Structure 1
């Protein structure tokens, strides 16, 4: 057989390219259609009819029902939306609202919703919503959402977001944190507060502060400060604009409802990746109890009550999936599963 001419060879190549492109396009369309079907199908979790569009919705329309609010992570049409379960029945039917958040915290009055607003240009925001999901205030974020809290009396909010890097395990990450009054001015970024460790000022350019937890005193809060590869539990004073280190090796603190203890995560390993566990500090005795959690916990702990802590935990065998677990704060027993397919819990008592 005579060899193909140049034009014939180009014809063969062109036809082959068209066939390959068509196959790739068909595969892409099929994959996208399958993704849409996965997103649209029911999640498989037991849900109840929402009484309203916001955090007031749970097991009916009673806004004063004690409940746990969280980000629903069950695959399906409700993925990423704020949900709630009664405090008396955490594994029962969940109410899913029409509010979508990447990180959430709530009280009876307000909800803080940290969002990634995807579009032609991706933006990030910290949105304060009322109980019906209506926007009250909004602040732009410099990057990926991290942590948020609301004071028990619903007068103060805090929010943190990464400036560079994508997680706390990233070397050289930078993070910005603010405290704001719901009906007043912002305190500015906490990086502007004066940081003192061991009686000496820390002014290094790599200072980071995040993970605020509010006390019953509107002027006093606790947070994490970091510099030079070290982290500290710091006590903040809003009026004096100061941060004073009170303990080494603490991240993402959360004060107990009675104000006597602080739960937090602490590093237990840095090889091959950073691993954290949960610990609880007694503020009166300075004694620390480590929770017997075998998995790495990268979350800001929440208190279910004065004797129990809860936190989100990623599933090691299922990328992107997460659950909320609970454990006695005295470390007396192993953690137990509290809410399946959930993240970023907030307890409304």
Structure 2
């Protein structure tokens, strides 16, 4: 990362924060009239919310449709909160996007934030109070390590606090402040305490699983070669994509030592287990836990994004669910 890019990044972050503050829309009363509304049952346990042909949809584990929702490229839900990340129409659509958040089944968005980049990842904390997104800068791709640029942000629905970009947090690797300037962050996943989170950091052609602290605004390296992490409901395991020697990504699950760090109670997580899952195909996705035993993810089939599920313990085999991407379970 050049000094000019660093300065530009700070300026863009500042502009976005100022713009976001002014751009947050009114609460449900004003938003309820939005035509691109919510026709989902986010309180229906056991169902999957996902994106198909740029529309949020919902289905049962057996594939029966439940409802549909707004236009999005990436979406996620928890506790009846839905985050929708979509490109904005117009000449700058490749660089301009919106983060829209629906709560409590409202037909229109409660919050709308502008972001600079193309939709890449989205998540909601288990409580439904925190939302996060990752966007690509134009033309970028995860496929070439060190040759892309991403921005990951976090927003607190309780008080409207925007944490800005993760580039504003302090990263630590091997106990030392990491000072390289080419860092990128993506794929945030939250713990149940609404303080601890995990994300990927890339720099100098390497990737790390980072444990974040929203209060201290720090990021601490946990393990190398971990991308797009997803914390299990029990807070003890991380599902992720791991780059193999042939350059592909394969889904794995690692166990965090005792689960204490995953729950935010302090202490360094010692990795005790790393299991390759039964899905052997190349998977470029952030997996989602449907429950403590099952993961959902998307990969292309004949050029079409397709949802699959697979056991989280390495047993069984992948099961095809439906055409689509960006799956998360409805948790009420």
TM normalised by structure 1 equals 0.75
Which of 80, 84, 87 is equivalent to 1:113? 84
- State whether residues 184 and 202 of structure 2, in contact with CA within 8 Å, keep that contact through their aligned partners in structure 1: yes
Contact in 1 for aligned 2:231/2:237 (Cα 8 Å):
yes
Distance in structure 1 (CA, Å) of the matches to 2:126 and 2:218: 22
Secondary structure of the 1:293 match is coil
Alignment of 1:12-31 (within 5 A): none
Q: Unmatched 5+ residue regions in structure 2?
A: 1-35, 258-270
1:286 partner SS: strand
Q: Against the structure 1 CA distance between its residues 101 and 133, is the aligned structure 2 distance closer, same or farther, given a 3 Å change threshold? A: farther
Moved over 3 A (4+): 55-58, 63-66
Partner of 2:208: 232
Alignment check: 8 A CA contact 2:207 2:225 kept: yes
Aligned length: 278
Distance across 2 between alignment mates of 1:217 and 1:107: 14
Compute the RMSD of aligned alpha carbons. 1.8
Structure 1 residues 92 and 293: CA distance shift in structure 2, 3 A: closer
Residue 194 (structure 1) aligned with residue 180 (structure 2): no
Q: Cα deviations across residues 82-139 of structure 1 (Å, max 9, x unaligned)?
A: 11012xxx23321342411100101242111110122244231111123234111122
Q: Which runs of 5+ in 1 are unaligned?
A: 1-51, 73-78
2:252 corresponds, among 273, 279, 301, to: 279
CA-CA distance at 1:141 after TM superposition: 1.7
Q: Tell whether 2:297 aligns with 1:324.
A: no
Question: Displacement of 1:164 after TM fit?
Answer: 4.3
Please show how residues 53-72 of structure 1 align to structure 2 within 5 Å: 53-54=37-38, 56-57=40-41, 63-72=43-52
TM-fit CA distance, 1:330: 1.0
Kept in 2: contact 1:282–1:288 (CA 8 A): yes
Q: Does 1:294 align with 2:280?
A: yes
Aligned runs of 1:118-197 on 2, under 5 Å?
Answer: 118-122=89-93, 123-130=96-103, 131-170=105-144, 172-184=147-159, 185-197=161-173
Does the 8 A contact of 2:124 with 2:130 survive in 1?
yes
Structure 2 counterpart SS, 1:191: helix
Correspondence for 1:99? 70
Aligned to 2:266: none
Query: Cα distance 1:121–1:232, how it changes in 2: closer, same or farther (>3 A)?
Result: closer
Note closer, same or farther for the CA distance 1:164–1:117 as it changes in structure 2 (3 Å cut). closer
1:131-176 CA-to-partner distances (Å, cap 9, x unmatched) read 2341111222211111111111111111110124332114510111
Distance 1:106 1:65 in 2: 12
Structure 1: distance between partners of 2:44 and 2:316: 31
Shift of 1:242: 0.6
Per the TM alignment, residue 65 of structure 1 is displaced from its structure 2 partner at its CA by 4.2
Tell me the TM-score normalised to structure 2 length. Answer: 0.79
Shift in Å at residue 334 of structure 1?
Answer: 2.2
Question: Radius of gyration: which is bigger?
Answer: 1
Matched residue SS, 1:217: coil
Give the CA deviation at 1:53. Answer: 4.7
Is 1:71–1:81's contact at 8 Å kept on the other side of the alignment?
A: yes
Matches within 5 A, 1:300-339: 300-315=286-301, 318-319=302-303, 321-337=304-320, 339=321
Change (3 A) 1:136 1:289: same
CA distance in 2, matches of 1:280, 1:107: 21
Aligned partner of 2:261 in structure 1 is: none
Greater relative contact order (Cα < 8 A, sep 6+)? 2
What secondary structure, in the 3-state scheme, does the structure 2 residue paired with 1:287 have?
A: strand
- Given that 2:39 and 2:69 are in contact with CA atoms closer than 8 Å, whether structure 1 keeps it comes out as no
